[in-house]
């Protein structure tokens, strides 16, 4: 019995007309034998979760660089929060949860170490580096699933959602649009919590319109945003917020940029990040280091650095540029 057929029948029967159906996927770049028990979108989700790039997210910065506390978000916890919110929205809108989850889990695989500071450093060094584009490169080229093809060979719909979760062009599926808007819901609200925990500002310092329209706590704001998206988007061929909630969300984002993301207390280590990444980058190029045998040495170095965790980048910097001690346990000649 091919169990996947019952899943495909369920999707046709219960998902909304505008939802992406696995049976109608635009497919993969390389043909594969169909699985008997899971759809193509379910397989994509599994490939992402089992990838090395996904595991490395646990040691990559969200906002605070090397925070001294166990409860600040990392890139992995951010991805999990985006996934949870996205699935809740997709289910309520009767969209494809499997596709939504795969996009959400994979959307930040290309983030370099030290969060947006690391992204800005690579962009400055090479002239163009965007984490969403590199996320697509990770799943298309850098990760390995089979010797029969490069990358994870994900479906077109998942790849489109990963690439367009940020930037000017929206995803072509509603599931991708869900992840795009829920990514913002997640980071705005958990970054407020982290900023408050870090003493950057108090929750009551948020603009009064944010507190009045969205709520005075993160839980209230997330619930307001989700409810508004559902009421605005149900039965429609686009996923969006109402004008008032969208305006207030944008106001909240501007507040965070002015008071947190660009705050000297939160960004005091960023100049060191550029120094570290630029020195590693130049060292690898100057010494002809090869990591995967790519034709373009610069692209190969960028791939290697972007894949690093914060801690690995720091260890590499220490190994290459800092003097090592001599003698193991020290000079015991006087003992």
- What is the distance between the alpha carbons of residues 163 and 10, in angstroms, rounded to a whole number? 28
144, β-bridge pairs? 151
Contacts 24+ apart (CB under 8 A), 119-124: 120/270, 120/274, 121/273, 121/274, 121/277, 121/278, 122/277, 122/281, 122/302, 122/305, 122/306, 124/274
> Domains plus CATH for the chain?
3-19+35-315 (1.10.3210.10)
Q: What is the pLDDT of residue 328?
A: 55
Q: What is the pLDDT of residue 13?
A: 97
Give whole-number Cα distances, 67 to 21, 64, 226, 244, 267, in Å.
42, 6, 29, 35, 12
Q: What ranges in the chain are assigned the alpha helix state H?
A: 3-14, 40-49, 52-56, 75-92, 97-106, 115-126, 131-137, 156-163, 174-197, 208-213, 218-233, 243-256, 264-267, 270-286, 297-306, 310-321
Q: Which of 152, 100, 107 is nearest to 130 (CA)?
A: 107
Q: What is the pLDDT of residue 334?
A: 44
Q: Report residue 173: phi and psi, to 5°.
A: -105, 150
- What is the distance between the alpha carbons of residues 99 and 173, in angstroms, rounded to a whole number? 9
Burial class (CB in 10 A: 0-12, 13-18, 19+), 253: middle
Q: What is the pLDDT of residue 266?
A: 59
Q: What is the pLDDT of residue 246?
A: 98
Q: Which of 90, 79, 78, 97 is nearest to 39 (CA)?
A: 97
Q: What is the pLDDT of residue 79?
A: 98
- pLDDT tens for the chain, 335 residues long, are 479 999 999 999 999 999 999 999 999 999 999 899 999 999 999 999 999 999 999 999 888 776 677 888 999 999 999 999 999 999 999 999 999 999 999 999 999 999 989 999 999 999 999 999 999 999 999 998 888 899 999 999 999 999 999 999 999 999 999 999 999 999 999 999 999 998 999 999 999 999 999 999 999 999 999 999 999 999 999 999 999 999 999 999 999 999 988 877 656 677 889 999 999 999 999 988 777 766 789 999 999 999 999 999 999 999 999 987 665 555 554 44
Contacts 24+ apart (CB under 8 A), 55-61: 56/307, 56/308, 56/309, 57/108, 57/109, 57/111, 59/309, 59/310, 59/311, 59/312, 60/111, 60/112, 60/113, 60/114, 60/115, 60/309, 60/310, 61/113, 61/114, 61/115, 61/117, 61/118, 61/310
pTM score above 0.75: yes
Q: What is the pLDDT of residue 147?
A: 86
Sequence-ordered list of residues with C-beta below 8 angstroms from that of 89, at least 6 positions apart, any chain: 95, 100, 178, 181, 182, 226, 229, 230, 239
């Amino acid at each position: 019995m091919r169990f996947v057929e019952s899943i495909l029948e369920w999707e046709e029967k219960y998902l909304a007309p505008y939802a992406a159906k696995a049976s109608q996927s635009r497919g993969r770049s390389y043909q594969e034998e169909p699985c008997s028990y899971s759809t193509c979108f379910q397989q994509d989700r599994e490939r992402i979760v089992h990838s090395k790039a996904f595991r490395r997210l646990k040691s990559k910065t969200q906002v605070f660089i090397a925070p001294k506390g166990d409860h600040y978000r990392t890139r992995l916890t951010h991805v999990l929060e985006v996934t949870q919110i996205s699935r809740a929205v997709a289910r309520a809108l009767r969209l494809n949860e499997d596709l939504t989850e795969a996009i959400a889990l994979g959307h930040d695989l290309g983030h370099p170490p030290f969060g947006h500071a690391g992204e800005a450093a690579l962009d400055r060094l090479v002239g163009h580096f965007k984490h969403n584009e590199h996320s697509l490169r990770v799943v298309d080229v850098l990760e390995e699933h089979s010797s029969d093809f490069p990358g994870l060979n994900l479906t077109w719909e998942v790849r489109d959602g990963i690439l367009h979760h940020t930037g000017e062009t929206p995803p072509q599926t509603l599931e991708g649009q869900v992840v795009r808007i829920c990514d913002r819901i997640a980071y705005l609200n958990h970054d407020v919590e982290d900023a408050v925990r870090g003493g950057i500002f108090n929750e009551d310092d948020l603009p009064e319109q944010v507190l009045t329209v969205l709520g005075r706590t993160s839980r209230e704001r997330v619930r307001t945003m989700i409810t508004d998206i559902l009421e605005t988007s149900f039965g429609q061929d686009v996923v969006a917020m109402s004008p008032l909630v969208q305006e207030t969300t944008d106001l909240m984002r501007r507040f965070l940029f002015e008071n947190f993301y660009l705050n000297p207390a939160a960004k005091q280590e960023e100049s060191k990040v550029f120094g570290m990444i630029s020195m590693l980058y130049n060292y690898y190029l100057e010494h002809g280091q090869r990591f995967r045998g790519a034709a373009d040495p610069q692209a190969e170095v960028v791939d290697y650095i972007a894949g690093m965790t914060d801690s690995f980048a720091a260890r590499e910097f220490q190994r290459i540029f800092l003097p090592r001690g001599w003698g193991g346990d020290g000079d015991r000649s006087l003992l």
